[in-house]
Chain A
Amino acid sequence: MARKPIEYVEIEIDGQAVKVPANQVVLWSARELGYDIPHFCAHRWLVPYGACRMCLVKVEAGGRMMPKLQTSCSLMPAEGMKIWTKDPEVIQARREQLEFHLLNHPLECPVCDKGGECMLQDQTRDHGMGEGRFREQKRIRPDASMNPYIRLNYKRCIHCKRCVNYASDIDGSYFLQFVDRGAETYIESFDDPAAAPRFSGNVIDMCPVGALTAKSYRFTMGRPWEQELKPSIGALDSVGANIWLNARLGDVARIVPRDNPTVENGMLDDATRFGWEFIEDPRRLTRALVRGEEETRVSRLAGETEAGRILGRIVNEHGPGSVGLLAGAGLNTEEYLALKLFAGRVLNTSYYNLGDCMSSIEVPDDATLATVGSGFTTIEGILNAATVLTLGCDLFEEAPSLGLRLDIAARRGLLRLLNARSQQSGIDRFAELSLDYPFGGLLRFVRGLTNALTGQGEVPPEVTPLAERLRQAGEDCAIVCGDEVWLSEDPPTVLKALAALREAIAQASPDTKAVYLNPVYKSVNSAGALLVNCFERLTDGRLEGVTAPVGCLGKVLEAAAAGKLKALVIFDKDVLVRYQHRDVVEKALKNVEAVIYCGAFPNATSERAHVHLPLGTWAHREGFVINLEWRVQKRLVASIDSVAPSVLDVVNGIAAAMGQSPVAADLPALRAQLARVIPGLPTNTLDDLPDQGLPFSPKPPALDRLKASTDLPAEVAAPDGQLLLTPKRFLYNDREEIRFSRVFDKIPKPFYAFLNPADAAKLGVSDGEWIGLGGGHELELPVQLAAWVRPGSVVVNDYYLAQPANRLAGAAPAAVAVKKLAGVGKD
């Protein structure tokens, strides 16, 4: 990595000679070594602030005793420095400062939600004087709502300013600020009611007392020590944030970060943190739905029997290859193996596709697998790179914790951030350079940039400033790409172009020792799905009785649309809304004899299914998932009363109804089989897998040299009077974690047609007015003016069930006619 090796200096703490990193303040070094220095305002994410005065230590530097006690949170070590943490003077100072902290703090620990995990409580026990001498009136002020998630109990606030510093220095939203002065200072929220909070929940963890608490946890969900904790993985993005699922008395109580410094560093986005109510939402399917003449609810067993009966008949009548199987990317890795075995041994088909990233027709070729399966780096590696180039992604929406960590690193000057994407994004604010191109123009941009670096082929002028900077990429460079790759017509082509760019940077920048390419995948286990889908070529693994897939998602759907497939089995994938070519899906769903859907909640696809089988949410199913750095991480079942089937349960149930033997006896057996099939996968049992996960290296096919095309596709432009339709992934959309968690009902979700103010002026529409998109007004959406939208584009949420973008998107890029809707007033 680009960082210089850490230098150590020798200092003395309480008479003990110790070596500490020269670039880290004494507080953290001493605490790592086991010296108990109390603190409130210092936090490992924040720059030293020195306000609480709890971490005072006695210091001798340069042979001279410093006249005052020093705050160790701001004290950089120097060779030969001497620190005293247990000197009577220091202990006295701590008592004094703690007494000040407690003056106005109410004595309500027994009813405070923070009690049991409260820094003030712990430090008072360890360092306090045990009695209060304050006889005057305590400071009071009513509680206040900070945003839809967070409530401030003002009386408990000890003014450490962690939350305010977080809002200004870390998430940069400035949603919390101080008002008034001195002892009357209080925290006020300046949250924009029209904007959905993205990283606000982290202040709840940071608050050292019970002042900022989660509305969904406070008073109702028990005390910290009553919680049963299960390690799990945030399900909303491919970073795989490490979380603790807290449950009490059989109910999920909250999600808190599990603080894996190498993955998400404790920084959760609000959708992950507060999105747990769906796990036990009454709208979750617990029995099967069978749609014949009418819709009937039957037991899960009866549903599986019905599904088995239908599939058995079709396989018998039409022979091998008559059933197609599709699966979303939120399942566990071993469940993909169960599905692969189910397809091969039970359904006898090679028309299957696991996962969501490669929405192309053909199975990714060797060059594509080599691109994603090698040459990537870890999340730490991205953050430690000298230069990071993000291409075709909005990380704040697609991988919020990675986006935030990059944002902080760029703000602190630890790396150079370069950006190119179709719309402005939040991460641009500290980027050295941000370029945009029309949506759908990623391939043209990447190839043009490559040509500029290699000096071959056509070079569009807009890439030149970026190419110049990439020629001095520094010691190492990481390319992070995202959703625009997966939304493109043929993701493998774009990936191969990116691989060529990687090589071009390595050659054009003489100092650069390594260039990495890390795709941000669409879902939590996209990598695991891809691994199992293509394990024949991504690893040395072989398995009897299964065949490699004949094609990708598009191939399966087209076969179904063409009448070649007689039934579709879909696991947890709203393919009707998610696949760009809605007409193909419509045709496929119409032309097959039966659609069997298996998923926890109803969605657009499940409503077309003849049988909808229940499935547990991710909190109900144990297993392991693989994130964007190919880290294998486990998620365990929450300690909750409700039980729900895993994918293995469902496929075994269907197999039994078809008179076939189960695909695997149980999940451990499946896992053991997977470990045999894919050597190097560190998952013989979940117990062996450490909580913080283990890295895994796929073995993609070796390639001598990538033959990269230098041809530039035509420039994308909408004809006059039309706008370029840009489906964009937002953190808040209609996925089930958000749609079925009531906490998000209060959040303003981005279900708008986002227009650049210039375009809106041309159309004569303003905020809140409705427009129709497409010739037949296929999409009708309220307008929100947004300066971040590239002129000539209209941005819509890519997953909005009421107005699905793929009614129009079709083959991206799509230009659409836009018309103001009369009669539909402001809402």
Chain B
Amino acid sequence: MAKGNPILQNGVISEWITPVTTLNNELGIRSLADYKAKARYIPEGSPGGYRSAEKVYKDIDAETIIEQVKAAGIRGKGGAGFPAGLKWSFVPKNHPGPKYLAINADEGEPGTFKDRFILEDCPHRLIEGAMIACKAFGAHDAFCYIRGEFYDAIAILDRAVKEAYAAGILGDKPFGVDYPMHFTVHTGAGAYICGEETSMLSSIMGERGHPRMKPPFPAVEGLWRKPTIINNVETIATVPAVFDAGPDWFTRRGTEKSPGIKLVSVSGCVRNPGWWEVEYGVPISTIIDELAGGLKPGRKLKAVIPGGSSCPLLQPAFADTPFDYESVMKAGSMLGSAAMIVLDDTVDIVKVMHNFSHFYAHESCGKCTPCREGTRWMLMIHERILAGGGSPADLELLKDIVNGIEAKSFCPLGDAAAWPVKSAVNRYAEDYERYFKAAQAEIESTGNPLAEAG
């Protein structure tokens, strides 16, 4: 049962919310023994971990694995929402030499805290998913790249991997099947850019974490120039359930284009921040009000950032938008990593943007010009506005800077830096104008020093 999650504990479950599903029931299942004894793939299923992997290794061939995952409609849960089964099918067939799976656990997006709980509370689910994914496209090595700040998660996953090796689940003959499977835990050093897939590959290889040119795509040339599939932790952790409950279990849930379930992490001005696993298509307002406890009394909703700090701000009018990729996109934002940041009417959007700009200026890798220079410039402008030196021209300037970054940076993280500011200057211009008026008033009250001198 979710820790610190009173609403679920109280059983207040809307018809839209999937009752504790594939992960919540495994919280705290860290040891192999517990995982094998207690873990359920779906709430209504019977307990027993590594059942799916064993079945896959003994009975299911690679093509069927991909077909099943495709049938379940599992979409990448790291942000882009790319169908996982389709991605796996991009690996060149009959490629000589090694192929790799790289699991992205560099959960660095501000507002996102879902992968961490998987790593900490059910690490074996991730290992099991990785084993299945590797078999699907013929890899024997999985790398899990964990954000350097996740000290606990690194230790817990590391211990789980050792247990799995000791039990013969990982190693040369998993479940007695002649399909060697190895799992390496690799830590980052605290760089947001290494959550970008090609930067992560560079970092794993010991190079500077800079994004690489695509094409060649990692599925063709990734780690050490060998085919490499990169998936998010949550995506991989979802896979084992497909082979227990069947693809139908997923397609019955969610929407037509976004079937299944998704972890959301809710933070900001809500009474009960936390994370929940929901079906796609739940209205945003339901998540805020019924899961996260709603806003504090007397507050009004000002903005929702649906998918983490890189997504545009949504105004209150869009609060009822169904929470799936297509609907959120239509509303003018993105589902991203489903990290919902709720802002109420006490929040100053300029200060939020200053905070975000600071983050992106600090985390820009520096490879491409627009992101390197644009993020620093946006930060400096926000600093000046907050210090009382802004003028209406800054709003136009910010729009121009955003235009120079958006869709012109080397990797998507440039867009990530630009989009929130773009939405803020367009949708919350009045917050900026308040600062400009104050600055103007300040000048008028002190008079024009030059005029006095004259």
Residues of chain A touching chain B, judged by Cβ–Cβ distance below 8 Å, are: 48-54, 56, 67-69, 74, 92-93, 96-97, 99-101, 103-104, 133-137, 139, 158-159, 161, 178, 180-185
Q: Bound complex: CA of A199 vs CA of B442, how far in Å?
A: 59
Do A182 and B362 touch (CB < 8 A)? yes
B364 at the interface (CB under 8 A from A): yes
> What residues of chain B lie closer than 8 Å to A97, measured between beta carbons?
369-370, 404, 408
> What residues of chain A lie closer than 8 Å to B381, measured between beta carbons?
136
Do A69 and B408 touch (CB < 8 A)? yes
> What residues of chain A lie closer than 8 Å to B376, measured between beta carbons?
103, 139, 182-183
Interface size on B, residues (CB 8 A): 31
Most buried by B among A67, A69, A182, A184: A182
Shortest distance in angstroms between B82's beta carbon and chain A's nearest beta carbon? Answer: 16
Find B372's partner among A69, A74, A183 (CB 8 Å cutoff).
A183
Q: Bound complex: CA of A92 vs CA of B384, how far in Å?
A: 26
Residue of A nearest to B208 (CB): A178
> What residues of chain A lie closer than 8 Å to B374, measured between beta carbons?
100
Do B369 and A182 touch (CB < 8 A)? no
> What residues of chain B lie closer than 8 Å to A133, measured between beta carbons?
397
B440 at the interface (CB under 8 A from A): no
Q: A101-B369, A137-B380, A183-B376 are in contact. List 9 more A-B contacts (CB 8 A).
A: A53-B370, A53-B408, A100-B372, A100-B374, A104-B373, A136-B380, A181-B366, A183-B373, A185-B372
> What residues of chain A lie closer than 8 Å to B397, measured between beta carbons?
133
B150 at the interface (CB under 8 A from A): no
> What residues of chain A lie closer than 8 Å to B373, measured between beta carbons?
100-101, 103-104, 183
> What residues of chain B lie closer than 8 Å to A183, measured between beta carbons?
361, 364, 366, 372-373, 375-376
Q: Bound complex: CA of A67 vs CA of B407, how far in Å?
A: 9
> What residues of chain A lie closer than 8 Å to B193, measured between beta carbons?
181
Interface 0/1 of B382-398, CB less than 8 Å to A: 00100000000000010
Residue of B nearest to A74 (CB): B213
> What residues of chain A lie closer than 8 Å to B403, measured between beta carbons?
92, 96
B62 at the interface (CB under 8 A from A): no
Take A49-B213, A51-B369, A100-B373 as given contacts and tell me if A181 and B408 are in contact as well, using a CB distance cutoff of 8 Å. no
> What residues of chain A lie closer than 8 Å to B404, measured between beta carbons?
93, 96-97, 99-100
B255 at the interface (CB under 8 A from A): no
Q: Bound complex: CA of A407 vs CA of B171, how far in Å?
A: 40
Take A182-B363, A183-B364 as given contacts and tell me if A56 and B408 are in contact as well, using a CB distance cutoff of 8 Å. yes
Do B372 and A93 touch (CB < 8 A)? no
Question: Which 3 residue pairs of A and B lie closest in terms of their CB atoms, listed nearest first?
Answer: A96-B404, A182-B364, A185-B366
Residue of B nearest to A178 (CB): B208
Do A134 and B368 touch (CB < 8 A)? no
Shortest distance in angstroms between A156's beta carbon and chain B's nearest beta carbon? Answer: 14
Residue of A nearest to B396 (CB): A133
> What residues of chain B lie closer than 8 Å to A49, measured between beta carbons?
213
Do A52 and B366 touch (CB < 8 A)? no
Do B208 and A51 touch (CB < 8 A)? no
B377 at the interface (CB under 8 A from A): yes
Find B407's partner among A52, A68, A139 (CB 8 Å cutoff).
A68
Shortest distance in angstroms between B211's beta carbon and chain A's nearest beta carbon? Answer: 9
Shortest distance in angstroms between B130's beta carbon and chain A's nearest beta carbon? Answer: 30
Shortest distance in angstroms between B369's beta carbon and chain A's nearest beta carbon? Answer: 5
Do B369 and A52 touch (CB < 8 A)? yes
Shortest distance in angstroms between A608's beta carbon and chain B's nearest beta carbon? Answer: 57
Q: Bound complex: CA of A412 vs CA of B409, how far in Å?
A: 28
- In the complex, 25 of the A-B residue pairs with CB atoms within 8 angstroms, ordered by the A residue number, are A52-B368, A52-B369, A53-B370, A69-B407, A69-B408, A92-B403, A96-B370, A96-B408, A97-B370, A100-B372, A103-B376, A103-B377, A133-B397, A136-B377, A136-B384, A137-B380, A158-B369, A159-B366, A159-B369, A159-B372, A182-B361, A182-B363, A182-B364, A183-B366, A183-B376
> What residues of chain B lie closer than 8 Å to A53, measured between beta carbons?
368-370, 408-410
Do A181 and B377 touch (CB < 8 A)? no
B191 at the interface (CB under 8 A from A): yes
> What residues of chain A lie closer than 8 Å to B408, measured between beta carbons?
53, 56, 68-69, 93, 96-97
Do A182 and B370 touch (CB < 8 A)? no
Shortest distance in angstroms between B399's beta carbon and chain A's nearest beta carbon? Answer: 11
Find A51's partner among B380, B400, B407, B410 (CB 8 Å cutoff).
B410
Do A134 and B377 touch (CB < 8 A)? yes
Shortest distance in angstroms between B64's beta carbon and chain A's nearest beta carbon? Answer: 32
> What residues of chain A lie closer than 8 Å to B191, measured between beta carbons?
181
B365 at the interface (CB under 8 A from A): yes
Do A161 and B377 touch (CB < 8 A)? no
Most buried by A among B362, B363, B376, B400: B376
> What residues of chain A lie closer than 8 Å to B368, measured between beta carbons?
50-53
Q: Bound complex: CA of A511 vs CA of B363, how far in Å?
A: 55
Most buried by A among B370, B375, B384: B370
Chain B contacts with A in 329-373, Cβ cutoff 8 A: 361-370, 372-373
> What residues of chain A lie closer than 8 Å to B407, measured between beta carbons?
67-69
Residue of B nearest to A135 (CB): B384
Q: Bound complex: CA of A50 vs CA of B191, how far in Å?
A: 21
> What residues of chain B lie closer than 8 Å to A104, measured between beta carbons?
373
Residue of B nearest to A184 (CB): B366
> What residues of chain A lie closer than 8 Å to B410, measured between beta carbons?
50-51, 53
Do A182 and B213 touch (CB < 8 A)? no
> What residues of chain A lie closer than 8 Å to B363, measured between beta carbons?
181-182
Shortest distance in angstroms between B221's beta carbon and chain A's nearest beta carbon? Answer: 13
Take A68-B408, A69-B408, A137-B380 as given contacts and tell me if A178 and B366 are in contact as well, using a CB distance cutoff of 8 Å. yes
Shortest distance in angstroms between A201's beta carbon and chain B's nearest beta carbon? Answer: 24
> What residues of chain A lie closer than 8 Å to B380, measured between beta carbons?
136-137
> What residues of chain A lie closer than 8 Å to B366, measured between beta carbons?
159, 178, 180-185
Interface 0/1 of B36-69, CB less than 8 Å to A: 0000000000000000000000000000000000
Q: Bound complex: CA of A48 vs CA of B363, how far in Å?
A: 24
Q: Bound complex: CA of A99 vs CA of B409, how far in Å?
A: 14
Shortest distance in angstroms between A344's beta carbon and chain B's nearest beta carbon? Answer: 63
Most buried by A among B191, B374, B403: B374
